[in-house]
Amino acid sequence: MAKRARARLSRPTAVSPTPTAVPSGYTTPSGFSCSSAYPSDDEMDVQPAKFDINTIPLHKLSLQETAAPAKPPQPLGSGAAKPAAQDPAKADEPTKPFRFLDLPSELRIKVYKYHFEGTDPVLDLTPENTKKVHRKLALLRTCRTLYIEASHFFYSSRVFRVFPTYPGRFFKTKRPLLARLTARQRAAMTGLELRLGPGFNKPPSSWAVNKRLGLKDCVNVRKLSVFVQIDPSVSWLDGFRKQGFYEAFSRALLDDVLKATPSIEVVEFDGYDSVRKDCPIMEALVQATTNHRKRIVWSTRSSWKGTDDSRTHVAATLANYDVPIVAVA
């Protein structure tokens, strides 16, 4: 039996280890969606563009041939456009400053009032003085005329506390606020305040009227405000100090202040609601004021407006010294 002939298949060709270059004449089939990664000879022979569209001005891209060229944009904050032509002599001329001292004195005082807004009406030694007061006083370094005017306005429109009451290192300082000022600054003051109550069980040794305090320079002070924060005679304060100690201390302190400042004409009394007019400390302070023949003014607190027996008692005490008593309106 004859053998059947079998079809002869071609052997598989080996893959070359190195890539074979594609001929330039090879065209990519139309059905192939991806473009060739190798540029053709026609693409390599393309001439570069003679102009760049980014270099064409914006006004030349308009369809109208007679369109006017657009003006370059003004920088922010430049304001109105400057004139095309300027006098070179005027361009080099510096801007003249405003002559503040040419204003009338009434207007200058109003400017000082606006400048010193934000400062407390009563000044004392506090850590906030650097922020509220010291930076405002930098205006006084401008010139001598401005220093004289502005300093007189500032020191005459504020009330200065005789002894510090801020707790901490300022409370026991040996240099109160008045001692840190110059004689010229103290001479411009018109009002002082004496606050009684802090440290009633042990007043600081620095709470004493001496030459360092400089009260003799306060020749223009006409009003002394006495604010009483506490009545040491109440029962719940028994045992903190010997009875009658702080009343005597307050009376002696007020007597020394009035004696060192003879220009004071009015003494205004004020205090917290817990302080009555007929309490021992108020009687001692009124007695010291009447001894110096000063006019007494009471604040208009609700608890001090009534015509109770305390009012009658104080009026009877003052009648012996013929001292006028007035209520603040």
Q: What is the pLDDT of residue 101?
A: 86
- Which tokens sit at 117? 């807004």
Cα torsion angle, 112, 113, 119, 122, sign: positive
- Would you give the DSSP letter of residue 4? P
Give one DSSP letter per residue of 269-291, joined into a string: EEE-TT--TTSHHHHHHHHHHHH
Residue 302, helix vs strand vs coil: helix
Cβ proximity of 164 and 206 under 8 Å: no
Domain assignment of residue 244, yes or no: yes
Domain assignment of residue 172, yes or no: yes
Least confident of 129-133, 228-232, 281-285, 302-306: 302-306
In tens, the pLDDT along 199-209 reads: 888 889 889 99
Residue 70 scores a pLDDT above 60: no
d(CA 123, CA 162): 10
Total count of domains within the chain: 1
Cα torsion angle, 293, 294, 300, 302, sign: negative
Domain assignment of residue 52, yes or no: no
d(CA 200, CA 249): 9
Residue 20, helix vs strand vs coil: coil
The boundaries of the domain holding residue 183 are 158-304
d(CA 311, CA 317): 10
Which strands make up the sheet holding 223-228, listed edge to edge?
A: 122-123, 159-161, 191-196, 223-228, 266-271, 295-298, 325-327
Domain assignment of residue 283, yes or no: yes
Q: Which amino acid is at 65?
A: E
250 Cβ contact list (under 8 Å, min separation 6): 196, 228, 281, 284, 285
Average pLDDT over residues 61-87: 57
Residue 195, helix vs strand vs coil: strand
State pTM to two decimals: 0.63
Q: What is the pLDDT of residue 318?
A: 43
Q: Which residue has the higher pLDDT, 177 or 62?
A: 177
Residue 92 scores a pLDDT above 90: no
Q: What is the pLDDT of residue 277?
A: 87
Domain assignment of residue 88, yes or no: no
Domain assignment of residue 73, yes or no: no
Domain assignment of residue 13, yes or no: no
Least confident of 86-100, 138-152, 277-291: 86-100
